[in-house]
Amino acid sequence: MIGRYIDISKGGDNRRSVETRPTRRATPTHRGILRAAVGIAAVFVLTLSSGCGLGGGPRPRNGYSPTTGLVPFLGLDDLGTHSYGFGLGEGSGIVYTQRGGSIDVDHVRGAADITKHAYDLSYAALTQGKTTFSLSPPFEFYTNRVEFEYPETWGTLSEEAQRAIAHEVSLQVAQTVGYNSTLYHEMLTWLGTRFLLVPEFYSAFSWEDVYSNLLGTHLAVRALQDPAGDYDQAMTRLLKAELEHLGVVSKDEAIRATNSVKGQWFTQGLLFPEISRRHLDIGLDDGYVTPALIPGVSEAEPLDYPAPVLDALDTYGFTMRYTIDSGHRADRTMRDIAGADGPIEPLKHYPAIMAYIEDEAIRVYGHDIGQ
């Protein structure tokens, strides 16, 4: 699914050796449970009390693992209305679709809003002649940075032509940043990073994560092109329509489908589930992400989504350098895995990192990755 794994410990493919890390299992102590509860409460309060995230971007959202227990499940009529800023009208939780499998609605919304924020920043930069912009998802403490080089003929174009090109380029740049930023989050948590003291390894690359996030970036690109110009209204409409297209089932059917893989894809823990079904297809092999469908629920064919592309850069003569940087210890591990001397460049370094994670998922943890 991801490709051939190269043994990093032997120095293959110009990658540095990475020491074997101890197994990270979600076995919370009483102190860990208390810290996690405090972290979750902090996220909840900050989400409700802030109209946006740090740095003027989208507000943070909680996500859910597609397991039963305390996880909320939704039907089509429970989606509510999308809000980029403050809002209490959104439905939160898991839906199940016949063609897209389990989908975390909060991940869809969050990835969409990061994409919108990246578009706003990219478009502003290009229409103002700036060469860089940066974006940091709320409360995650890492930074996406994009650096542009303009075509030599840029100054000869009319303002109208520049705005049209900036719009087209920014749509692709925004989706690339939105998608790869969510992947970086999954990589960090796989490698042990905790946000607000909450352990997240148990859910890193769970079977709905990548597909939900990619779906969100696609919806954002469509919403940003909506003729009415109202992003929230467009997202509300587009999300419902796309879930219908994917064959969303009722809340009760979604719970039954999820329970059918209990004990196989996940087991219920004291506070966090233990997830053994991971999804590592990020589109590296064929440019598409295929969803993980629960067996026996439907005979419908899966609907693949294309990973972001940047062909508009070549079309209009731009070059771009895109990096992600942070002070998280796991970032240093990723650099070692990829042989990077500076910040992670997703388009260059993710294949090596994903190969490492795929090998570890199978060899160390015995996870099912759907191969």
- How does residue 21 score in pLDDT terms, banded at 50, 70 and 90? low
Could you tell me if residue 19 is inside a domain? Answer: no
Residue 28 has pLDDT above 60, yes or no: no
Express as a percent the part of the chain with pLDDT over 90.
Answer: 75
Which of these, 236, 195, 287, 194, lies nearest to 108 by C-alpha position? 236
Could you tell me if residue 13 is inside a domain? Answer: no
Lookup: tokens for 279: 């999804």
pLDDT at 337: 98
Whether residue 323 contacts residue 145, with contact meaning beta carbons closer than 8 Å, is answered with yes
Instruction: Give 121-175 pLDDT, tens digit per residue.
Output: 999 999 999 999 999 998 899 999 999 999 999 999 999 999 999 999 999 999 9
Residue 323 has pLDDT above 70, yes or no: yes
Lookup: tokens for 220: 């954002």
Q: Quick one: average pLDDT of 358-371?
A: 94
Express as a percent the part of the chain with pLDDT over 70.
Answer: 84
pLDDT at 35: 44
Q: Quick one: average pLDDT of 297-324?
A: 98
pLDDT at 10: 29
Per the structure, how many domains does the chain have?
1
Residue 3 has pLDDT above 70, yes or no: no
Could you tell me if residue 45 is inside a domain? Answer: no
Residue 30 has pLDDT above 60, yes or no: no
Could you tell me if residue 26 is inside a domain? Answer: no
Which of these, 57, 200, 189, 188, lies nearest to 133 by C-alpha position? 57
Amino acid identity, residue 322?
Answer: Y
Whether residue 99 contacts residue 301, with contact meaning beta carbons closer than 8 Å, is answered with yes
pLDDT at 198: 73
- How does residue 57 score in pLDDT terms, banded at 50, 70 and 90? low
- How does residue 371 score in pLDDT terms, banded at 50, 70 and 90? low
Amino acid identity, residue 71?
Answer: V
Whether residue 214 contacts residue 99, with contact meaning beta carbons closer than 8 Å, is answered with no
Whether residue 302 contacts residue 291, with contact meaning beta carbons closer than 8 Å, is answered with yes
Between 238 and 28, whose confidence is greater? Answer: 238
pLDDT at 188: 96
- How does residue 32 score in pLDDT terms, banded at 50, 70 and 90? very low
Could you tell me if residue 12 is inside a domain? Answer: no
Q: Quick one: average pLDDT of 74-97?
A: 94
pLDDT at 200: 82
Which of these, 79, 71, 95, 64, lies nearest to 257 by C-alpha position? 95
pLDDT at 272: 84
Q: Which of 54-58, 157-161, 293-297 has the lowest mean pLDDT?
A: 54-58
Lookup: tokens for 28: 């919370």
- Collapsing DSSP states into helix, strand and coil, what is residue 61? coil
Q: Name the residue range of residue 211's domain.
A: 52-363
Task: Count Cβ neighbours within 10 Å for each residue of 82-94 and write b for 16 or more, e otherwise.
Answer: bbbeeeeebbbbb
Locate tokens 């899966």: which residue?
302
pLDDT at 271: 77
pLDDT at 165: 99
pLDDT mean across residues, the chain: 87
Which of these, 144, 183, 121, lies nearest to 325 by C-alpha position? 144
Between 50 and 206, whose confidence is greater? Answer: 206
Q: What is the dihedral of CA 235, 45, 96, 65, to 10 degrees?
A: 130
Residue 195 has pLDDT above 90, yes or no: no
pLDDT at 54: 34
Lookup: tokens for 30: 């009483």
Could you tell me if residue 5 is inside a domain? Answer: no
- How does residue 87 score in pLDDT terms, banded at 50, 70 and 90? confident
Lookup: tokens for 68: 């039963």
pLDDT at 48: 36
Residue 31 has pLDDT above 70, yes or no: no
Instruction: Give 209-256 pLDDT, tens digit per residue.
Output: 999 999 999 999 999 999 999 999 999 999 999 999 999 999 999 999
Could you tell me if residue 214 is inside a domain? Answer: yes
Could you tell me if residue 6 is inside a domain? Answer: no
Q: Which of 33-42, 81-90, 278-287 has the lowest mean pLDDT?
A: 33-42
